[in-house]
Structure 1
C-alpha cells in the first residue's frame, strides 16, 4: 500500500528544534521533534494552547520523517549560541502571534534573567508527514492550513520566521523512509522504525513527545537515523 504524504520545507536564517533543556540552556537538535511538528501544525490549524485534547490527538496520529539538506562539502549543520540577558519588569509587554501584545503577571526581577539558546544557521530540513486514521483534521485540512495558516508560523521559536512557504507538495511511499527516498534528495535523515533503512543505520529511543494534557514533555518513540543516498 502506498500512502500520500505532505512534503514540507523548513528553512530559515535561524531556527531551532528544541532538545532536552536543562536549567537555562535551550539546545537544538538537528531534526524536529514530534511535539514541535504537532505545535506547528496546531498553530496553522488555529488551535489554542489550552486545547490539550486536540493537540494530543494530533500528535498521536502524526507519522513523519525528516532530512537535513546540507550544502556540498558540509557534513553537519552549523549552530550558534545566543546568550540572552534581560531585566524583566512587571509592566513589560511582548508581541504574540495573536496580533495583540501580551503582558506579564509576575513581579519585577531585580537581577537579569539569563538564558542560552542554540539555533541552526541557514539550515534547511525537508519533512514528509501523514496522519494515521482517527478523529480530527484530515491531511487535506492540514495542507490547507499550512497554505493559509490561522496565525503566523515560526520554526521552533517566535523569532524564527520561515524563509519560504512551508508546503512544497506531496510525496508517495508505503513508509516514511520510502517517502523520503521519493524526494530525490540526499542527506542525513530520521524516520520511524518501520522495518526499512540502509545498512549502518542507527535504531534508538528519542524523547520528543509531549503530554499535551499536563503541558509537560515526557515519553519517547523508536526511530531510525541514517543516510538517504
Structure 2
C-alpha cells in the first residue's frame, strides 16, 4: 500500500480560493490541487519563478480532503485608496506602476473576500510517481521544518497548530482519509485535537462519529449518495493562469465501526 501524508488544517480563518468574479473572491469547501501545491512548494522553498517545478509537483499530487468542522463562512469587505504614484510588487518579481487619468484615483479600491472561520479540514495526499524528487519523505521533512511560514489559503490565514499530522499506508486517498478520521477520533499523537477545539466539538464530531463531508479523486464509480463532479482547481504555474479540469467524487465518510466501539 502506498504511503499518504495527512495534514490537519486548524486555523481561525482559512480560505480555499475559488473563481474571482469582479470584486468577489469566493472560497471552495475543499482545498484544490493548486492550493495544496502552493502550500507544499512554500514549505520546500520554491519560488514563483519555479514554474516548471511547480507544474510537475501539481501533476504528481493525488489528494482528497474532509471537513471535520464546517465552521462559519464570512465575507470581508476590503477597501484601499490608491494613488497614481503608488507602486507594488507583482507575482513576476517586477515593480509595477499605475496608469490611468486623475479620475481613476478619485474612488477607493473595493473588493470582497470570503473565508471560513473556525473550520477544521483534513487532507490526505500522495505523490505519483513516488520515487521522483521531491519524494513524500522530503515533503514530510519540509512540512516539519518549512523554508517559509505556512498559511491556509491566504497569507493572513495562519494555522493554530503544525499542519503535518502523520503518514499512513492506504490503498487510496479515500482510505487514507478514513484512517486520518479514525486517528483524530482516537486522539493519536499529532492527530489529537487541541483542548479548546475538543470542547467546541464535544456535541458533534468526533464524539458522535457523525459522517463528514469529503472529496476524493474519481478513480472509481461513485457509490450511493455520492456524486461525481468535474472541477477546475489546477494552475498553469508557468503562464500564471488557472485552467483544466479533473474528476472528483463528493460524499460523506464515517469512522470505521471498530473506531466507534461497534462490532464490525
Counterparts of 1:80 and 1:161, CA distance in 2: 16
RMSD: 2.0
Looking at secondary structure, tell me which structure has more helix per residue.
Answer: 2
Q: Give the alignment of 1:109-120 within 5 angstroms.
A: 109-120=105-116
Which of 200, 224, 229 is residue 204 of structure 1 equivalent to?
229
State the partner residue of 2:134. Answer: 137
State the partner residue of 1:123. Answer: 119
Counterparts of 1:204 and 1:196, CA distance in 2: 11
Counterparts of 1:84 and 1:8, CA distance in 2: 30
Alpha-carbon shift at residue 8 of structure 1 (Å): 0.2
State the partner residue of 1:106. Answer: 97
After superposition, give the CA deviation of every residue in 1:68-101 in whole Å (9 maximum; x if it has no partner): 012xxxxx5410000101012444779xxxxxxx
Which of 187, 205, 216 is residue 212 of structure 2 equivalent to?
187
Answer whether contact 2:88 2:96 (CA < 8 A) is retained. Answer: no
TM-score of the aligned structures, taking structure 2 as reference length: 0.77
Which of 247, 252, 255 is residue 227 of structure 1 equivalent to?
252
State the partner residue of 1:67. Answer: 66
Identify the range of structure 1 (17-26 vs 105-114) with the bigger mean alpha-carbon deviation: 105-114
Counterparts of 2:133 and 2:237, CA distance in 1: 15
- How many residues of Structure 1 are paired with residues of Structure 2 in the alignment? 216
Counterparts of 1:197 and 1:81, CA distance in 2: 33
Counterparts of 2:142 and 2:60, CA distance in 1: 17
The 3-state SS of whatever aligns with 2:12 is: strand
After superposition, give the CA deviation of every residue in 1:87-144 in whole Å (9 maximum; x if it has no partner): 12444779xxxxxxx9963238442111100000101100001100164300011011
Counterparts of 2:61 and 2:82, CA distance in 1: 37
Answer whether contact 1:8 1:127 (CA < 8 A) is retained. Answer: yes
Identify the range of structure 1 (178-187 vs 45-54) with the bigger mean alpha-carbon deviation: 178-187
TM-score of the aligned structures, taking structure 1 as reference length: 0.88
Counterparts of 2:11 and 2:178, CA distance in 1: 23
Counterparts of 1:158 and 1:26, CA distance in 2: 15
Structure ID, larger Rg:
2
Answer whether contact 2:88 2:97 (CA < 8 A) is retained. Answer: no
